Amino acid sequence: MQILMILLLALFTRAEELACKIRGRPEIPEFYQDGDIIIGGIFSFRSSLDGTTYNYRIMPEPPKCKNFNFREFQFSQTMIFAIEEINRNKEILPDVTLGYKIYNACGSLNILRVVMSLINGHKEVLSDFSCVKPSTVQAIIGHSASTPTMGIARTVGLFGIPVISHFATCACLSNRNEFPTFFRTIPSDYYQSRALAKLVKHFGWTWVGTIRSDNDYGNSGMATFAQVAQQEGVCIEYSEAFLKSGPKEKISQIIDIIRKSTSKVIVAFLSLIEMEALVEELLLQNLTGLQWVGSESWITERSLVAGDGYKILNGAIGFAVGKATITGLKDFLLAIHPSNNSGSSFLKDFWEAVFSCSLTSEKGVDILNPCTGNENLKDINNEFTDVSDLRFSNNVYKAVYTVAHALHNLLICKNVQYHSVLHYLKLVNFTTRNGEMVFFDERGDPAARYELINVRANVRNITEYVTVGYYDSAFPEEKQFVMNNISIVWATGQNEIPKSVCSESCDPGTRKAVKKGKPSCCFDCIPCAEGEFSNKTDSLNCNKCPVDYWSNERRDTCFLKKIEFLMFSEIMGSLLVAISLFGACIVTATAAIFYHYKDTPVVKANNSELSFLLLFSLALCFLCSLTFIGQPSDISCMLRHTAFGITFVLCISCILGKTIVVLMAFRATLPGNNVMKWFGPNQQRLTVFSFTSIQILICIMWLIISPPFPDKNTKYYNDKVILECDLGSSIAFYIVLGYIGLLSAICFVLAFLARKLPDNFNEAKFITFSMLIFCSVWITFIPAYISSPGKYIVAVEVFAILVSSFGLLFCIFAPKCYIIILKPEKNTKKHLMAKTNVKTH
């Protein structure tokens, strides 16, 4: 493919030579200086075409350009200044002189002709009607725009000729496979686009519009910006592209879009000529007050703020390459005069454009304003004479010195070959007189360093470009972008940073919910649900509070839930403790009465041993309720349920023993029945021990397999944690309750059968009533236990224990105490042995 391109170029070159001879018009450089080594330069002294059309049936005429570009002309003169300075320097390229061929390029056809001229070369200009000898340049400085530079680099790259651009920033030019001989002294837009995205994010602008040049520079730069902006959470409301040479209606359409948009910040990745056209249209439609964010191609361009342009761009910010000073350049520029280089038509055009006079003189034609020759550039202040902000001219200066340093390393070679120049260009590393290091990376790019520029008017209403920050890609990512604490003048005229968001930020306590069909920056703020929180602005999700915490009313933090359990210090806990202790005291008093009257018939007749054991178990029942009050712990949880189960079984076993004694005693009164010898005191003790041992064994197995443990219950309340005892094994708990219920049922049945036995003091009827109360309490306890929330579950359980204990105590022992204390006349054996009248069938 490369061979085919070389043949085509060679054919084109030959055709150019023939056309040159036919037309008698060689492609003459605008500025030419012979030397041992020639460096080429391509600049656009005029910025636009005049709409020339081409008829391809005849040889096309050279394109006609207009709008003299003083900045580009300064670039060309800076190149000449650098070359002459190097020629005077004995340390660089001694005994070797550098020459130059600098061409004007306006339009794609003219650029191709210029490139062919530089490749083919012109050793000397003989006359206006003769063609020239070929002599290839060793390097080319230029072009200022990315798209023309791509064409230049592709063409000369086939011949290995290096191209060093001072202004072409398109990241696409870093592709070494496509542009192997391209270098530049200006950073790639790969970094500028990222820097612009970080800049927009830094000021909180998440809703922006973008406008770009519809060429390689604008499209490539904006594509990178859009990608990084998305990563930074910035949304683009609209993205428009245009060229100045395109339809004029396109600019009007863009202005309408800007006017109807809601974003107040516009990122303009435009070349200078597109930005000039846009500012002009904005002024016509009086669309001001927008915050412009600019690329390096126009942000420091003074021509844009000339006249009324400051009304549009005042407060604009953007990145620019660092400014520099070049000693001696100003004097060199001011010394330029048409008489010094009469062969350059563009020098004449420059002089006429600066002083608005004419250097052309024709016989018989009167010139309205002829140049006198006494004009002096020292009296002029324009882009050409202004050297206070040499940003891009310094890049031209560095490009020339880069070529010189590469050539300097080839002095030992007699014949300088272009591939050697290319090789040493890759190795260039030197420091300028301003202390700036110059080198290229593997892609031919320099280090990316930018100044953040703020366009503002000073007290004298003169537009200034103030550096308010820096960006350096060589630093770690978090330190690449730095502000220098200089206040920024904004487009709104206020000190506060203008807002440009699709939706206002979501406060802590809410989360973002993207609106359907809208970009991610357009959202609603949804309050977090109960138990969830968000503690930062623009949170995407609400986080759940930890188990022991709950969200506050604003849902922006979590607070520790109130811990609740049945405490001794609260009224309910104190009341239950008092009742429990009161019950234990009554049991003690009853035991004391029974002990004091242990020899009386009432005490003896009711099996005093079982009565004392029953009183002991009732005392334990009252006291075990205390284990349910207070903060649950491992010991209290295991103790409360097992103590409850064992003490109540002991209590019911005693009552069951007394019931069996009543039945056996009645059987013993029948003639010839000696049943009491089979259920004497030993058998009674064994019965109580056996029944109680079974419950003890069940509780031991419960504690071994899955014991109760303290647990934090969060089911009942959102803002409270209930400290309670988890049962561990629910089956074991139900077995304990079931065993108590079984013994209670047996005792109730036996007592019910013996309630009408013909004894004057039949204890069975009191046992029946006590067991009825006991069973009723625990039956009603079940639904109350299930429906009671939190600590009230424990209170209900304690209440059931106390009520059932009091029921047993009063039903069984109150009648006996009544007789012992208040009716001592009935506490006789004769009264107890008397039979009651019983109806028989």
Q: What is the pLDDT of residues 643-669, one digit of tens each?
A: 988 998 998 888 888 777 777 766 555
Q: What is the pLDDT of residues 760-796, one digit of tens each?
A: 556 777 888 888 888 888 888 777 766 776 678 888 8
Is the model more confident about 2 or about 703? Answer: 703
- Cβ partners under 8 Å of residue 516, min gap 6: none
pLDDT in tens, 436-480: 899 999 999 998 999 999 999 876 778 889 999 999 988 888 888
Distance (Å, rounded) from C-alpha 18 to C-alpha 7?
Answer: 16
Task: State residue 640's pLDDT score.
Answer: 85
Instruction: Reduce the DSSP state of residue 189 to 3 states and report it.
Output: helix
Lowest pLDDT segment from 273-277, 408-412, 747-751: 408-412
- Report the pLDDT value the prediction gives residue 606, as an integer from 0 to 100: 61
- SS3 assignment, position 618: helix
Residue 52: is its pLDDT beyond 60? no
Reported as a pLDDT band with limits 50, 70 and 90, residue 828 is confident
pLDDT band at 22 (very low <50, low <70, confident <90, very high): very low
* Other C-beta atoms lying within 10 Å of the C-beta of residue 548: 12
Helix and strand numbers, DSSP H then E, in the chain: 22, 27
Task: Tell me what the mean pLDDT of segment 136-148 comes to.
Answer: 90
Q: Per residue in 375-405, is it b (16+ CB within 10 Å) or e — as a string?
A: bebeeeeebbbbbebbbbbbbbbbbbbbbbb
| 543-544 and 532-533 beta bridge pairing | antiparallel
Query: Mean pLDDT across the stretch 299-323?
Result: 90
- What integer pLDDT is reported at residue 55 of this predicted model? 41
What's the whole-number average pLDDT of the chain? 83
* Positive or negative torsion for Cα 572, 578, 581, 585: negative
Written as six digits, the tokens of 34 are 């012979």
Neighbouring residues of 229: CB distance < 8 A, sequence distance ≥ 6: 197, 200, 201, 208, 235, 236
- 11 — pLDDT class (breaks 50, 70, 90): very low
Sequence-distant contacts of 403-412: CB under 8 A, at least 24 apart: 403/39, 403/138, 403/139, 403/141, 403/162, 403/164, 404/86, 404/92, 404/93, 404/98, 405/92, 405/430, 406/139, 407/37, 407/93, 407/96, 407/98, 407/138, 408/92, 408/93, 411/93, 411/94, 411/96
- Whether residue 178 has pLDDT greater than 70: yes
Q: What is the pLDDT of residue 665?
A: 63
For residue 766, the model assigns a pLDDT of 80
Domains, the chain: 2-186+326-435 (3.40.50.2300), 189-321+447-483 (3.40.50.2300), 510-560 (no CATH), 571-832 (1.20.1070.10)
Q: Is the pLDDT of residue 832 over 90?
A: no
Q: Please write the tens of the pLDDT for every residue from 707-745.
A: 998 888 877 777 888 888 888 888 998 899 889 889 888
More confident residue, 107 or 172: 172
Residues in the chain: 841
- Measured CA to CA, the distance from residue 450 to residue 481 in angstroms comes to 9
- Rounded to an integer, what distance in angstroms lies between the CA atom of residue 681 and that of residue 611? 12
Q: How far apart are the first and last CA of the chain?
A: 132
Angstrom CA distances, 197 to 6, 523, 589, 840, stand at 42, 21, 89, 108
Q: Which residue has the tokens 């890609």?
A: 473
d(CA 22, CA 496): 67
Contact 306, 209 (CB under 8 A): no
CB contact set of 86 (below 8 Å; sequence gap of 6+): 92, 93, 98, 400, 401, 404
Q: Are 101 and 40 in contact (CB under 8 A)?
A: yes
Q: How many CA atoms lie within 13 A of 802 on its CB side?
A: 23
Q: Can you give the pLDDT at residue 238? A: 95
Q: What is the pLDDT of residue 711?
A: 86
Distance CA 188, CA 469 (A): 19
